[in-house]
Chain A
Amino acid sequence: MAQAQATKFKNPVVNWIDSRLPIFTMLDHEYNHYPMPRNVNYLWAFGAIAGIMLMIMIATGLFLAMQYSSHTSLAFDSVERIMRDVNYGWLIRYVHANGASMFFIAVYIHMFRALYYGSYKAPREILWILGVIIFLVMMGTAFMGYVLPWGQMSFWGATVITNLFSAFPIVGDPIVTLLWGGFSVDNPTLNRFFALHFLLPFVLLGLVILHTAALHVCGSNNPLGIDPKGPQDTVPFNPYVTLKDGFAVVIFMIIFAVFVFFMPNYMGHPDNYIPANPLVTPAHIVPEWYFLPFYAMLRAIPDKLGGVLAMFGSIALLAFLPWLDRSKVRSCKFRPVYRQFFWILAIDALILGYAGAMPAEGSWLVIARIGTFYYFFHFLVLLPVLGKLERTRPLPNSISESILKGGGSIAAGAHAKPMEKA
């Protein structure tokens, strides 16, 4: 590697460190000069928002862990002690509990943004696959975190979800025993879930660093889905995008604060304020809202193994998205047919979420089955076929041409974000 220039930074201490460990050069390169397409809209802020949510979760989680007891006879009471007696414990816990939901909201918007603008396509396949892995690890972390307060939904949610693995032939039962640390959900289960819940966020952090590294190789996608052709198409990340993302983060924090301070238990289930009782099953065992679409798929299939495969398959499928979507055009702006199907998929996900919250019987079961079928149909049939058949609109020559002259094929489209005017 080339020697770092001796006079790069004004501060001699920074310079001294940088010539030995070029961390400042790296930060300068990746966060000051990193070229962002100048036409990115506010949907591009959700990556930064998700990153900040991860930091908030790690920070609040650390302080909760200092007060929490991971023993079945103490867990529920120790959480209540945090709520009542620990200084600002109620604030830390409500930020952590609602933060999980807000983290998922940010990540879901981030994912749908990628779907809409084709951000998973070449050369961003590995970036996307890392994102799918982050999503999976996040789900595992959130699930184990929900078990820790040891309320009724904690216990029964843990029982239902860990039992899923028993559907697999031969390896199923040993896996479940290993997860439980015994022959039922009990103290060893709670203990290992606490240990893993503490570990996994740092795994997530590592994955996020890889995700960002992969992003910075090929650069960010943009609403037009075409590559920047030069400096006229981009702005330096700092200060342009830091300020824009910063504004978006503050707006997101306002919504977050509304939940934390004024409706902190809205996204939770009342049953989790009842201590876990292995002898009393709640009337309806429902997971947290962010798992509901997957829970609906699980219950839609009449066969246990089939349901489990459908649920895991629905996420595993996403990793193959870059090869299922055959279209060379990234952005939905130039894909009039796919755009309609994108919105149908989004509605399908919401309907599945609603069906997941309802009892799995009668018309809700039928709706869940249709929704599940459509989900797989979209990815396995529609996407490959559309890529071959769809007549896409002509792409603009460059980002700067299409946004600064105001003309071109996309200006009339309502999805084209007007450039901010002074």
Chain B
Amino acid sequence: MRALKTAILSAALALGIAGAAQASEGVHIPKQTWAHAGIFGTIDKAAAQRGFQIYKEVCSACHSMRLVPIRTLAGIGFKEDELKGIASGYEVQAGPNDAGEMFMRPGLPADRFPSPFANDQAARASNNGALPPDLSLMAKARVGGEDYLYAFLTGFEEPPADVHVMPGMNYNKVFPGHQVGMPNILQPDGVTFADGTKATVEQQAHDVATFLTFVAEPHLDARKQMGVKVILFLLVLAGLMYAAKRKLWSTLH
């Protein structure tokens, strides 16, 4: 009876926990290996830098990253002068000046990444009615996180015979509904990496997903490192508390 009760209870508990995780829409998202996974995992800075290159050369043609200041890239190993160089490659609007007019100036590391379109309407008008979502939080805003991003970027394929893809849309095996406005944008050797890494589609998808994980959670490394220290401290404290409590309560008998 007791064993049965324990079994039922643990099954129900497991069910409850699975329920809290909220199952995604049926499509299986395979897990990838990430350098930033696990307790001691940290962002793979080389991969994130390659991911930034892909963002800059490919993604940013349509996608904004409006919440991220350029200086954030210091977190993946860019030095101050490199950041200034990256920032000055962008033109940002400033002003008004003394004549009351807005003007363009080279970007500074403190600026946020400029958006490719002036507003959502302009973005839709240039993209066949579809709105390319902002990428600042993309790795946290989808069920499956970076695994989903990888599966999505490598998930473009020819539609099955019985699926009619609407004009201007593309077939993706993991996108909810399978029809997406974004085309299959990552091409083999579509970018040339400075570090000599071969730019396969899988490599690019993995790198850009790493980069987007970093921009969505720029303090990820600091968070985990602090967590290890906090939990070690609490474990020692718990041991001391337990010993003190036992010693005290033993005097009661």
Residues of A within 8 A of B (CB): 38, 77, 80, 83-85, 90-91, 94, 235, 239-240, 243-244, 246-247, 250-251, 253-254, 257-258, 260-262, 264-267, 269-271, 273-274, 283, 286, 289, 292, 343, 346-347, 350-351, 353-354, 356-358, 404, 414, 419-422
Interface of A (DSSP majority class):
helix
State the CA gap A246–B245 with chains docked (Å): 9
Interface size class of B (residues with CB under 8 A): 35 or more
- Contact A347/B141 with A254-B231, A286-B22 known, Cβ cut-off 8 Å: no
In the bound complex, residues from chain B placing their C-beta under 8 Å from that of A271 are: 141
Q: Is the beta-carbon distance between A261 and B223 smaller than 8 angstroms? A: yes
Candidates B2, B136, B230, B242; contact of A247 at CB < 8 Å:
B242
- Contact A270/B141 with A91-B223, A91-B226, A354-B16 known, Cβ cut-off 8 Å: yes
Q: Is the beta-carbon distance between B230 and A269 smaller than 8 angstroms? A: no
Q: Is the beta-carbon distance between A254 and B249 smaller than 8 angstroms? A: no
Q: Is the beta-carbon distance between B241 and A258 smaller than 8 angstroms? A: no
Q: Is the beta-carbon distance between A357 and B19 smaller than 8 angstroms? A: yes
- Contact A343/B253 with A270-B142, A357-B22 known, Cβ cut-off 8 Å: no
A189 shortest CB reach to chain B, Å: 23
Determine if B67 is an interface residue (Cβ-Cβ < 8 Å): yes
State the CA gap A253–B227 with chains docked (Å): 12
Q: Is the beta-carbon distance between A38 and B223 smaller than 8 angstroms? A: no
In the bound complex, residues from chain A placing their C-beta under 8 Å from that of B218 are: 84
Q: Is the beta-carbon distance between B245 and A243 smaller than 8 angstroms? A: yes
Determine if B58 is an interface residue (Cβ-Cβ < 8 Å): no
State the CA gap A269–B143 with chains docked (Å): 8
Candidates A77, A243, A254, A269; contact of B244 at CB < 8 Å:
A243
State the CA gap A261–B145 with chains docked (Å): 17
Candidates B15, B67, B235, B248; contact of A240 at CB < 8 Å:
B248
Q: Is the beta-carbon distance between B246 and A422 smaller than 8 angstroms? A: yes
Q: Is the beta-carbon distance between A273 and B219 smaller than 8 angstroms? A: no
Q: Is the beta-carbon distance between A354 and B15 smaller than 8 angstroms? A: yes
State the CA gap A292–B17 with chains docked (Å): 12
- Contact A247/B12 with A90-B219, A240-B248, A286-B22 known, Cβ cut-off 8 Å: no
- Contact A273/B141 with A84-B72, A250-B241, A261-B227 known, Cβ cut-off 8 Å: yes
A-B contacts, 22 listed (Cβ < 8 Å) = A84-B68, A84-B72, A243-B245, A247-B242, A247-B245, A251-B238, A254-B234, A257-B231, A261-B223, A261-B226, A262-B224, A264-B223, A267-B20, A270-B140, A273-B141, A274-B141, A283-B25, A289-B19, A350-B13, A420-B250, A422-B246, A422-B249
Residues of B within 8 A of A (CB): 2, 5, 8-9, 12-13, 15-16, 18-22, 25, 39, 67-69, 72, 133, 136-137, 140-143, 145, 176, 216, 218-219, 223-224, 226-228, 230-231, 234-235, 237-238, 241-242, 244-250, 252-253
State the CA gap A412–B39 with chains docked (Å): 42
B24 shortest CB reach to chain A, Å: 9
State the CA gap A356–B22 with chains docked (Å): 11
Q: Is the beta-carbon distance between A244 and B141 smaller than 8 angstroms? A: no
A380 shortest CB reach to chain B, Å: 23
In the bound complex, residues from chain A placing their C-beta under 8 Å from that of B13 are: 350
Q: Is the beta-carbon distance between B231 and A420 smaller than 8 angstroms? A: no
Q: Is the beta-carbon distance between A421 and B230 smaller than 8 angstroms? A: no
Given pairs A274-B133, A350-B13, 19 additional interface contacts (CB within 8 A) = A80-B137, A240-B249, A240-B252, A247-B238, A247-B241, A250-B237, A261-B223, A261-B230, A270-B140, A270-B145, A289-B20, A350-B12, A350-B16, A353-B16, A354-B15, A357-B20, A422-B247, A422-B249, A422-B253
In the bound complex, residues from chain B placing their C-beta under 8 Å from that of A422 are: 246-247, 249-250, 253
